[in-house]
Structure 1
């Protein structure tokens, strides 16, 4: 039976972020790929305010996994990585990949770094307008001006309530085989935080040289996809 990979997107994104590169890459390898929109993320570019908790997003992942015939491999990006970590408190999967993920310590330090580097984010934060901040400074997500222009318009409003949930640390452990992948040029999460995440979970760490926060949308996305492919295959042995 084909293995299934479930993709969990991050803040202000949607299932679309997996559809251009990662899903074709892994489908060619024979995997069944499932990408879904978290609640309120169904419409690309939507500015409609939403108010879901991080727990609502975790429940959405539980529902997707419950509908599958067998435990999947799950890849969680950014906020989706924290959703995956919280899912593993009570749920299970065959393998888990944290891609440019919020660390177990939460997103506070990443937020403070971003505000210090780009003080223009502060008015957006005071307005609870996360989308506005990311659209003004898309370089937080992408390391290429062309990609900023291309993908920023697809991003949608994010729940400030869910963002506040990301401030809280998640200190549990898991027995699920886990890989941590980060980019050396990530505009939000540091290489040290990726290393700390891997240490926390006793997981393998892979740093993609020059990789942005949105590793799955980088022009050289295949570097990241190949690292994940090799780990999935090798961790069976």
Structure 2
């Protein structure tokens, strides 16, 4: 029986955006699945049709949701998360609920201080209005292009937007933005855990939403743990790196790293 793999999406993308990865990992002998967040519809269309179901869910809700899924698996899974999914994967790994984790362009955890202007601009559709904290917010094609598709053609960005984008809860963004002012922030990760499985951080050099400086500052948060913590940079990729036409290069890199960890 293969090792379970749990794919965790981030804000504004539906879980089905992982479908090519699920198939790829299945062919490599793993047991992958990509569940949605609480309130997500089964399809992109269903999620867009019921944005109120998505609203109001915070980081702890999502962690609890995935912890419940992990409980039902035959063994501890490999956790692969993108954006806020990357933060969730790190939290679950810090709780010893995963065999390993790959955090791709992961949202900033508590303790990470750099806040580049491009990240602020990417989050502005939500953070620009405090009333959005308990609402769901959709991106326009132009906002998606800036936040996700800036390193690909405008046509491909629009196609990805039409295929995968869904409304996202505002709450996680507000929680992450206030993390360094809240001692009990839900964006806090147990980075000092010595017994956890290996962690790979992946950065996109052209990412507006989670710039490479944020990922490298995240790496520094793990300096007090001797557990394996690696980082790989894709200089020419942006936040769409898990879903655009170059996704396979990223997936192959992840598979190679997992094999190096005997996973």
Counterpart of 1:191 in structure 2 is: 212
Deviations 1:165-198 (A, max 9, x none): 2222525223221000111111211212212222
Q: 1:44 to 1:123 in 2, by over 3 A?
A: closer
Rounded Cα–Cα distance in structure 2 between residues aligned with 1:150 and 1:60:
30
Counterpart of 1:165 in structure 2 is: 175
Match of 2:251 among 225, 230, 235: 225
**Post-superposition offset of 1:147:** 2.8
Counterpart of 1:41 in structure 2 is: 40
Gaps of 5+ in 2: 180-186, 224-228
Length, aligned pairs only: 234
**Post-superposition offset of 1:130:** 6.5
More moved, 105-114 vs 141-150: 105-114
More moved, 154-163 vs 211-220: 154-163
CA RMSD of aligned residues (A): 2.6
More moved, 68-77 vs 106-115: 106-115
Rounded Cα–Cα distance in structure 1 between residues aligned with 2:25 and 2:166:
26
**Post-superposition offset of 1:135:** 3.7
1:78 aligns with 2:80: no
More moved, 173-182 vs 128-137: 128-137
> TM-score with structure 1 length normalisation?
0.87
1:102 aligns with 2:101: no
> TM-score with structure 2 length normalisation?
0.79
Counterpart of 1:207 in structure 2 is: 233
**Post-superposition offset of 1:107:** 8.4
1:138 aligns with 2:144: yes
Asked if 2 retains the 8 angstrom alpha-carbon contact of 1:73 and 1:96, the reply is: yes
Gaps of 5+ in 1: none
**Post-superposition offset of 1:206:** 0.3
**Post-superposition offset of 1:52:** 1.1
Matches within 5 A, 1:149-164: 149-153=158-162, 154-164=164-174
Rounded Cα–Cα distance in structure 2 between residues aligned with 1:207 and 1:122:
27
**Post-superposition offset of 1:90:** 2.8
